[in-house]
């Protein structure tokens, strides 16, 4: 997968997880929703690991690359990052 | 506290700058029904909410709105790249440009700077939730307006998607427990 495709899929899983999170905030006993949330989160986590291994960290606390790489271009408001 | 992830909640990649459109869209950045106001409203109201469901919901939605604030900033930024002086003058973007060039500033389309007058946070649960419903209705109307009337559809299909997702995302706030 290229950067754009990977970003798109990662973003989509996180978006779905977040929408489920909002539902769970007002329906915290809904076990089915909780399962959905966990599934989306796990899918996101996998894709994020893959994305970061190929394109660098997306948060400052990921220093697995051994340097302060999260500073590197592109930044999210730039077309190259999307 | 807040944690930042270096990506947008929804990707923005605009091929064709358009300062005229930027003049209108900036109102979703720093205008009365824009994303900054939305995030300040929810993040301010959450302190005095009496039940965890509402503390969580307002925290989560307020945080999400900051992500939307970032998306709008990105849209305006990309719409105002590489402009000629002629484009700036003819589009009417000159009135923003003189004060900010192509820097981002929290302002409404009218030119009024962002003001906290645009939201209410009264410390009373029902009052605050009614404020949220009214705010949501105003925001949804404004975003429908962008989608249907401000030339989004025919001129900028990539922008259209961003408007849709805000509308769909906002429907989550309608799940308030009364």
CA distance B14 to B174: 31
Mean pLDDT across the stretch B20-24?
Answer: 93
What is the predicted pLDDT for the residue at B155? 44
Q: How confident is the model at residue B150 (pLDDT cuts 50, 70, 90)?
A: low
Does the model's pTM come out above 0.80?
A: yes
Total length of chain A: 82
Residues of A in contact with B68 (CB under 8 A): none
Is B60 in contact with A25 (Cβ distance < 8 A)? yes
Interface TM-score (ipTM) > 0.90: yes
CA distance A73 to B58: 33
The DSSP call for residue B112 is P
Q: Which tens digit of pLDDT belongs to each residue from B151-171?
A: 444 444 444 554 444 454 445
**B107 beta partners:** B113
Q: Which of A8, A23, A26 sits opposite B177 (nearest CB)?
A: A26
A75 touches B at CB < 8 Å: yes
Mean pLDDT for all residues in chain B: 85
Query: Residue A15 above 90 pLDDT?
Result: yes
Give the C-alpha distances (Å, rounded to integers) separating A35 from A2, A4, A13, A31, A41.
Answer: 29, 28, 14, 6, 10
What is the predicted pLDDT for the residue at B30? 96
**B113 beta partners:** B107
| Low-confidence winner among A41-50, B104-113, B129-138, B167-176 (lowest mean pLDDT) | B167-176
Total Cβ atoms within 10 A of residue B118 = 20
Is B12 in contact with A82 (Cβ distance < 8 A)? yes
Cβ contacts of A64-71, under 8 Å, gap ≥ 24: A70/B6
Mean pLDDT across the stretch B92-121?
Answer: 97
Do residues B78 and B159 make contact, with C-beta atoms less than 8 angstroms apart? no
Q: Which tens digit of pLDDT belongs to each residue from A38-70?
A: 999 999 999 999 999 999 999 998 888 888 999
What is the predicted pLDDT for the residue at B173? 47
Q: How confident is the model at residue A26 (pLDDT cuts 50, 70, 90)?
A: confident
A49 touches B at CB < 8 Å: no
Is B11 in contact with A57 (Cβ distance < 8 A)? no
Mean pLDDT across the stretch B119-140?
Answer: 89
Q: Which tens digit of pLDDT belongs to each residue from B67-78?
A: 999 999 999 999
Q: How confident is the model at residue B80 (pLDDT cuts 50, 70, 90)?
A: very high
A77 touches B at CB < 8 Å: yes
Do residues B30 and B107 make contact, with C-beta atoms less than 8 angstroms apart? yes
């Amino acid at each position: 997968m290229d950067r754009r495709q990977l970003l798109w899929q990662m973003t989509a899983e996180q978006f779905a997880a977040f929408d489920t999170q909002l539902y769970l905030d007002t329906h915290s006993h809904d076990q089915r929703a909780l399962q959905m949330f966990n599934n989306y989160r796990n899918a996101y986590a996998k894709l994020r690991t893959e994305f970061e291994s190929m394109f660098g960290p997306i948060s400052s606390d990921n220093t697995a690359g051994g340097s302060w790489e999260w500073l590197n271009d592109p930044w999210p408001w730039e077309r190259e990052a999307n | 506290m807040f944690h930042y992830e270096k990506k947008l909640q929804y990707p923005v990649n605009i091929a064709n700058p358009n300062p005229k459109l930027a003049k209108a869209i900036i109102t979703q950045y720093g205008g009365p029904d824009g994303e900054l106001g939305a995030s300040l409203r929810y993040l301010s109201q959450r302190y005095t909410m009496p039940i965890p469901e509402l503390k969580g919901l307002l925290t989560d939605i307020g945080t999400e709105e900051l992500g939307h604030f970032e998306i709008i900033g990105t849209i305006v930024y990309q719409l105002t790249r590489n402009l000629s002086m002629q484009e700036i003058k003819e589009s009417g973007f000159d009135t923003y440009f003189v004060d900010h060039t192509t820097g981002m500033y929290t302002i409404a389309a009218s030119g009024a700077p962002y003001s906290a007058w645009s939201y209410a946070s009264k410390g009373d649960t029902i009052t605050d939730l009614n404020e949220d419903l009214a705010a949501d209705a105003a925001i949804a109307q404004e975003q429908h307006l962008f989608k249907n009337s401000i030339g989004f559809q025919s001129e900028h299909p990539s922008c259209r998607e961003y408007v849709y997702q805000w509308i769909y995302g906002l429907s989550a706030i309608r799940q308030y427990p009364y």
